[in-house]
Amino acid sequence: MDFPQPLQRGVLISRYKRFFADVLMDDGREITAHCPNPGAMLGLNTPGLPAWLSKSDDPKRKLAHTLELVEADGGLVGINTMHPNRIVAEALAADVIPELSGYATHRREVRYGENSRVDFLLEQTDRAPCWLEVKNCHLRRAGALAEFPDCVAARSLKHLRELIAMVEAGQRAVMLFVIQRMDCDAFAACHDLDPAYARGLSAAADAGVEVLAYACAITPDGVTLAGRMPWRDAMAS
């Protein structure tokens, strides 16, 4: 996934009200940008962090700029939670996710479950459909472990239940975590910040939902899916 225009660099002043970020640009301008991330952004919302913004030419937008990347712990981190679906869509089209190859169609935002929409429905005439949910992960607190979520994620827990229902109906279901940072080598659910989600992910895996975690390669030019990383079950003894 390439950014349509070169990103503009600055320094984060403040992230507030979840969806706003003030940034002091390298050219001296102070800009209020849209922050497309409803989570806590732990470790990524500290004033003074280098930040990269995209700019839209759409005159209907209230805020022309969007916070895309911050630099933390010496590396770039993608904070835009809307990008993982785009990244995965490109990876599916290029057939670079071995676990999800062999499907003729990749439909997006298909209704299922209790008033939900799955991120992708993969279909092939000679095999069961595959229901694919995608989550953005950018939290790292210690070592090289990526964690999700960074706050209580009730809606994400609901998605796990929907995936379990698909498995129980005889179909395939996959939970894919896209790690938008490059300093991690394993993934786990964040048990202390959302114990219900950690239990839910473990229960989903036990029920037959496949858990995948993929790293990303990140530059100011774009973000692409890289290699798979292992999942550590936070509830395993």
Q: Are 36 and 66 in contact (CB under 8 A)?
A: yes
- What is the block-wise mean pLDDT of the chain (237 residues), using blocks of 10 residues? 94 96 98 95 96 94 96 94 96 96 95 90 95 97 94 94 96 98 96 96 97 97 95 83
- Contact partners, residue 20, CB within 8 Å, separation at least 6: 32, 33, 34, 35, 63
Q: What pLDDT, on a 0 to 100 scale, did the predictor assign at position 237? A: 55
Distances from the Cα of 150 to the Cα of 60, 140, 145, 173, 192, angstroms: 32, 9, 13, 24, 10
Sign for the CA dihedral angle at 7, 43, 91, 186 comes to positive
Closest CA to 77 of 225, 217, 232: 217
Dmax (CA) for the chain in angstroms is 59
Helix segments in 135-220, DSSP class H? 154-168, 195-207
Q: Sketch out the chain's domains with CATH numbers.
A: 8-78 (2.40.50.580), 83-232 (3.40.1350.60)
Taking each helix axis as running N to C, give the angle between helix 195-207 and helix 154-168, from 0 to 180 degrees, rounded to the nearest 10. Answer: 10
Q: What pLDDT, on a 0 to 100 scale, did the predictor assign at position 236? A: 80
